[in-house]
Structure 1
Amino acid sequence: MLFLVRMDVYVPHDLPAEQANEIKAREKAYSQDLQRDGRWPHLWRVVGEYANYSIFDVASNDELHQLLQGLPLFPFMKISVTPLAKHPSAI
């Protein structure tokens, strides 16, 4: 199942820089593992924002929820999910 996911990140301004950097490092490692195993095949930054659009290719809604909830930055995110279906005009 394919999903388009927008993630907007809102790291609290009072979070110590060292802690924020550690969370971001874990986030990068986690996301790259999912990219390597094919469940996160596309990741694009939104220009001028601390946000991204991503495509996830997972077996179920529950699997997607589990992966998103596992993101180290999850507590600081607003996430919107759009399920995708093949367009009949796509080649």
Structure 2
Amino acid sequence: MLFQVKMTVTIPAHLASGEFDSLKKLEKARAQELQIAGVWRHLWRIVGNYANISVFEVTNGEELHEILSTLPLFPYMNLEVTPLCRHPSSIEARG
């Protein structure tokens, strides 16, 4: 099942810059791991924001939640999740 996830990160003022830098490195590593595994299918930056639009391919919403909660920046994210299905007019192969 495909899900679009809009992730907007808000870093609290009390978080030390060194801690934030560490979290960003861990976040990048985890995101790349999930992309290599084929779970995180697309990752697009939203220009001018600390935010992205991503597409995940997972079994269900519960699995998606479990994956998202492993992201190091998860505690600082506002997430908007939209389930997706193929449009009948799409020329891309089904699958």
1:51 partner amino acid: A
% identity of equivalent residues: 52
Matched, 1:2 2:2: yes
Q: Compute the displacement of 1:73 (Å).
A: 0.3
The aligned residue for residue 87 of structure 1 is 87
* Residue ranges of structure 1 left out of the alignment (5+ in a row): none
CA distance in 1, matches of 2:44, 2:85: 20
Deviations 1:30-72 (A, max 9, x none): 0000000100010000000000000001111111000111110
In the superposition, the TM-score normalised over structure 2's length comes to: 0.93
Deviation at residue 22 of structure 1 after TM alignment = 0.5
Shift of 1:14: 2.3
**In structure 2, C-alpha distance between the alignment counterparts of 1:57 and 1:12, rounded to whole Å:** 30
Query: How many residues in Structure 1 have an aligned counterpart in Structure 2?
Result: 91
> Residue in 1 aligned with 2:47?
47
Q: List runs of 5+ in structure 2 lacking aligned partners.
A: none
Q: Secondary structure at the match of 1:41?
A: strand
Runs of 4+ in 1 over 4 A off after TM superposition: none
Root mean square deviation, CA, Å:
0.6
TM-score normalised by length of structure 1:
0.97
Matches for 1:60-75 after TM superposition, within 5 Å? 60-75=60-75
SS at match of 1:21: helix
